[in-house]
Structure 1
């Protein structure tokens, strides 16, 4: 089941992160626009909440291997294409300083486990997502995914222990502790959608919301330089609004009729997110001496949108089905 409203929100989140990197951060801050776009980093926790909801829907009544194949097909071809574009941009601007080993490690999305730097800083969020997918795969493989109350309770307790007591420290190896409440909130919204309101579902959603606000308040300084109390307040208010919007969508209080344009917007959000940062900034740097900062950023936004569309239409759309079919043939004997 695909919700058109989530496609729109995905695109909004990716576009907000792009504007944050181009106009809302120190060094690229200009005019009044930056006072709004500096909150664009909040598209990331929104992504994670969406992921918790969507993965819960897609993993229900599914076997582990088909789930893994579907996630691999969705993530990796587009990721590899965007990584190549980023490497080309760095090469053309004489900024390519990654070794073959570093590049090879990045192709796996697992480079953080061996402390190898990311080619693009935004890749850290993919590693957070990958850990979540791995945990879902484990639950499916052990036939325990359906026991959501049990594993959600354990997950919530472990995250709370890590957030407040910094224990167990090994937790980060399996799942991202401080962003886990976002995923938990998404799963809780799915349960509310499926089962309706009960003490567990409402309680889990409420506790996850509290933990999201608590952890988010401590992260504001990481994304907004020398954030003051007003900026912290508006950051938390924005997260609360995102939370409420996603909850309304999950409960069908907001229904958007499916259209091809929404499908495309949702489709390009992933490559847009992947390619905008390093490659986009190199383009801005190259154009700024000739066109000025404002025009350079505007043209770069359009250029990145076009690149994202091309990657979605000609890479993801053309590789997904044959790659999925090939993997199913190898791993499942052609059975999905």
Structure 2
């Protein structure tokens, strides 16, 4: 993922109760968030590879028995998703400030789809033609793969090429919700109002029987997106008690939602999961992103973090099914557990770099040029209606749509 670059603030009015230092517009890049993204991705990799005992066929034994110490920590690696959502709320608000709805749409499309399409093709080939993967997951039809290209396989009721893609449907719903604020223009008050309304609806939706409301307000994940958005307001306008209180309230809701999250992941881990450990990490995730928003990591400007951020999305997309196939092949050939783990991780990182460098970047540039083309802009008014004479010259049409001859 690309390095996060703070927007230019210009002469934006400072709101009462906020603190905006004169040099905030010249703050350095938030490279620390790129590093946190890679940490979140590697947590998810660790969970799928080492934390999930139901994948015993991949290793030729349960990860708990083969790597007991690493498994104990990796069993909580799914919390990397929560960290992802926190950072996503921050970054989306940052990247969309001052943009038009069309620019917002373009930025999301070119960010999500190029690497995803490549991952669908590569993962589909592995799932369908690698013997070990085919045995574990079953065949994916051409229709399934084509449907997955839309990123809407979940609402379409289509099997995912890779189960890890479920989070993308969550992200898409967040983008759709945030598009309403972008349409009116992002301001401090509008964004904060949006966060407050979303939080109320997410809490109400959790206990309601309204499935449509619950689908869009995403009670289990809303506190993370909301907190991330508010943390960006802190970054942009400075901390005040209203914003800090909103972050704290989001954490209080999040820790309760973790009870449901814990129960949903016990199936794969196949043993109890500590809510306390989950909550401690959740508090750490909130704290570290908030610290970044308040400038604690501004001095961290290691350039390799830019590469780390760029690799995060491909690593997330490619690691599960392709990683399983690599691990199964290595174990079938007698390679040791730790050597297999290191080699598989190195292979996924290398593949992710290749996808980013030679597929994602050129495809993103091409798609941006296409979407920015003047001909794709929606007209500000309806085109002129054709005259009756022009219409009379057109052939008559049956109800079925074929011209009358």
TM bin (shorter chain): over 0.9
The structural deviation recorded for 1:226 is: 5.4
Q: Deviations over 1:108-147 (max 9, x none)?
A: 1111112112111110101111111122223222447661
TM-score by length of 2: 0.77
Separation in 2, partners of 1:324, 1:259: 28
The structural deviation recorded for 1:177 is: 2.3
Which residue, out of 324, 328, 336, partners 2:372? 328
Tell me the SS of whatever aligns to 2:98.
coil
Separation in 2, partners of 1:181, 1:111: 25
Q: Deviations over 1:15-46 (max 9, x none)?
A: 11101111111134123111111111111000
Separation in 1, partners of 2:341, 2:302: 29
Tell me the SS of whatever aligns to 2:295.
coil
Name the structure 2 match of 1:49: 86
* Count, aligned residues: 331
Name the structure 2 match of 1:132: 174
For structure 2, the residue ranges without an aligned partner over 5 or more in a row are 6-28, 57-61, 379-405
The yes-or-no answer on 1:111 pairing with 2:148 is no
For structure 1, the residue ranges without an aligned partner over 5 or more in a row are none
2:205–2:214 Cα contact (<8 Å) kept = no
Separation in 2, partners of 1:128, 1:5: 24
The yes-or-no answer on 1:258 pairing with 2:301 is yes
The yes-or-no answer on 1:275 pairing with 2:318 is yes
Q: Which has the higher helix share?
A: 1
Q: What pairs up with 1:131-170 in 2 under 5 angstroms?
A: 131-143=173-185, 147-163=190-206, 165-170=207-212
Which residue, out of 47, 50, 59, partners 1:20? 47
1:128–1:175 Cα contact (<8 Å) kept = no
Separation in 2, partners of 1:35, 1:173: 33
Name the structure 2 match of 1:205: 247
Separation in 2, partners of 1:172, 1:100: 31
TM-score by length of 1: 0.93
Distance 1:61 1:158, change over 3 A: same
Separation in 2, partners of 1:222, 1:292: 31
Name the structure 2 match of 1:235: 278
Name the structure 2 match of 1:7: 34
1:4–1:256 Cα contact (<8 Å) kept = no
Q: What pairs up with 1:288-307 in 2 under 5 angstroms?
A: 288-290=331-333, 291-307=335-351
